Amino acid sequence: MLYEKLSDTMQAMVDVYAEKVRDLPWPRTSDLIGEATGHFRDEYEGRQARVAALGFMTAVLERLEVVEVDDPHQACLFTLSLNPEHRRLADLYLEKNPQVREVLEAELEGDLEVN
């Protein structure tokens, strides 16, 4: 897990954030994670900003310990996660919901790589 590789300070921050979003609906969770990752883009530049933002998001998702994707917003987050298991869960959902896959792919075009 990525979370385990983080500093104690970052783990504490991730834990606080995971608790903040734990019981929220996925659209709201997605919005809040988007706001939080925006701060990394303010602090860093280019690839470093993207990796930091995706790393934070991935660690938060890991702490939520979700075992199934059942929402389009959740599928988007899990598709962007650096955790291969998250991406696998998103793919399973998207296979069952091809209309969501089409929309997601159009919206994320070019955003799926950590360049």
Tens digit of each residue's pLDDT (9 = 90 or more) over 50-75? 999 999 999 999 999 999 999 999 99
Q: Is the pLDDT of residue 115 over 90?
A: no
- What is residue 12's predicted lDDT score, i.e. its pLDDT? 97
pLDDT band, residue 110 (cuts 50/70/90) = low
Q: Is the pLDDT of residue 42 over 90?
A: no
| Helix, coil or strand: residue 97 | coil
Sign of CA dihedral 20, 21, 23, 27: positive
Domain boundaries, the chain: 3-108
Q: How far apart are CA 60 and CA 34, in angstroms?
A: 12
Q: Is the pLDDT of residue 13 over 60?
A: yes
